[in-house]
Amino acid sequence: MGRARKTLAIVAFAAMVGCTVRSPASTPAILLTTSRLHATAATFAFTHALNQRFAFEYAVAAFDVESLPYNRLLAGLDAGNVDYFISSHVPLRDDIWAAPLGVDGLAVVVNLANDVSTLSAHDLRDVFSGRIRDWGAFGADSLAISPLAYQPGSDLAQEFRRLVMGIVPVTGNALLMPSIDAMLRQVTEDAGAIGYLPLSMIDARVKPLAIDGALPSRQNVGDRSYPLWSTIYVIGWQAPPAATFNFLGWIQSEAGQAVVSESYTPLP
């Protein structure tokens, strides 16, 4: 099956938005008719921040944003219980509409005490497949590698498979983390751990690795020198109703992308 239909969702309202973040103070002419948006854990902060900024700039009520696992959101879309959701992974389906909103890197992280600073994409696949099991293979002190992954139904797991693993399965010895926070804690506490999380969510507790010679950064994601990056999409059956459409159009506008660039990488 083909990839979801991808559309630029900018609408006439977006043209009203000025070149600065503090744009026209007037309220959009179309009143909100949809009150809830859904997002995965990986895109909740992105969605929440932009939602709050849009509501502030145009003096409208903010959407309620609910975070659910990617597989539940996709199932909810199929069942008619979810209208639209924002995710870092878009399903390979012809019947689904999707529009890009921003870009985020997928950072590979290890414990701060780990002497390894860089891996190739091939090395990374070998580590997560279980083919390489000791950090000594990369010139560090001998220590068992502890691969950490997410539940297969998460958008992060789906993107890691697309970007890194391909058809090679993640080792059955990988510890499955229930959340991004759990991933951060486990990497912090386990000297042999290696995991991955959105670039926008790494902090000083963990050490990001360079992949194929490039460190994860917004600049390196933007120029594509860092190879692990994902487009953030809004996903639904069809182009959304006016209120949601206005919000999405604003995100894609120059003003919205300026807000995106504060913590993420804007669209090219």
- Three-class secondary structure assignment of 83-147: CEEEECCCCCCCCCEEEEEEEEEEEEEECCCCCCCEECHHHHHHHHHCCCCEHHHHCCCCCECEE
Among 226, 230, 203, 202, which residue's Cα sits nearest to residue 216?
A: 226
At 24 the pLDDT is 27
Lowest average pLDDT, out of 4-8, 66-70, 134-138, 264-268, goes to 4-8
At 36 the pLDDT is 78
At 26 the pLDDT is 31
CA distance 63 to 142: 50
* Pairing between β-strand 36-39 and β-strand 64-67 as defined by DSSP bridges: parallel
What percent of the chain stands above pLDDT 90? 72
Q: State how far Cα 93 lies from the chain centre.
A: 19
By three-state DSSP, how is residue 213 classified?
Answer: coil
Among 106, 122, 90, which residue's Cα sits nearest to residue 221?
A: 106
Mean pLDDT of 111-133: 97
pLDDT at 13 over 90: no
pLDDT at 182 over 70: yes
CA distance 75 to 181: 24
At 238 the pLDDT is 84
Beta-carbon contacts of 3 under 8 Å, excluding residues fewer than 6 positions away, are: 90, 92, 93, 94
Among 245, 197, 240, 165, which residue's Cα sits nearest to residue 41?
A: 197
Identify which has the larger pLDDT, 181 or 34.
181
Lowest average pLDDT, out of 17-31, 111-125, 170-184, goes to 17-31
At 3 the pLDDT is 53
pTM, whole model, 2 decimals? 0.84
Which CA distances in Å does 238 have to 61, 96, 172? 23, 7, 38
At 32 the pLDDT is 34
Mean pLDDT of 174-198: 96
Summarize the chain as % helix, strand, coil (round to 5).
Answer: 35, 20, 45
By three-state DSSP, how is residue 36 classified?
Answer: strand
Q: What is the pLDDT of residues 23-64, one digit of tens each?
A: 222 333 323 345 778 999 999 999 999 999 999 988 888 888
Buried b vs exposed e over 158-185: b needs ≥16 C-beta within 10 Å? bbbbebbbeeeebeeebeebeebeebbe
Quick count: other Cβ atoms within 10 Å of Cβ 108? 25
Architecture of domain 5-103+230-260: 3-Layer(aba) Sandwich (3.40)
Listed by start position, the domains of the chain span 5-103+230-260, 105-222
Shared fold status for 5-103+230-260 and 105-222? yes
CA distance 127 to 195: 11
Architecture of domain 105-222: 3-Layer(aba) Sandwich (3.40)
Question: What are the residues facing 67 on neighbouring strands?
Answer: 39
